[in-house]
Amino acid sequence: MICFVGFIFNSLGAGEILLVLAAALLLFGAERLPGIARSLGRALNEMRRAASEISSEIVNKDLFPPSDKNSSEPHDRREIDKEQREG
């Protein structure tokens, strides 16, 4: 989603962006526009955070696969880091 938004703003000029903002102002009004922008920002931030967590989980699980299902050795990178910090 972030790449898509970046692509849109890279392909639009200043005039087009101002036109879109003016249309949004006319459609939603000056009172509702800040709330809509705030909600959109929060949603994008939450999506970015979720994507980061998912990719982190994938990387952590794939780099350290379990060697034996009966083994008590940790296979998650966070578990390994925690054990190293504890001693």
Predicted confidence at residue 9, as pLDDT, reads 59
pLDDT value at position 86? Answer: 74
For the entire predicted model, the pTM comes to 0.48
φ/ψ region of 29 (left if φ > 0, alpha if ψ in -120 to 50, else beta) reads left
List, run by run, the mean pLDDT of 10-residue segments along the chain (87 residues).
Answer: 58 86 90 91 94 84 58 61 71
pLDDT computed for residue 87 by the predictor: 62
The residues, ordered by sequence, that sit 6+ positions from 25 with a Cβ below 8 Å of its Cβ are: 33
What pLDDT sits at residue 14?
86
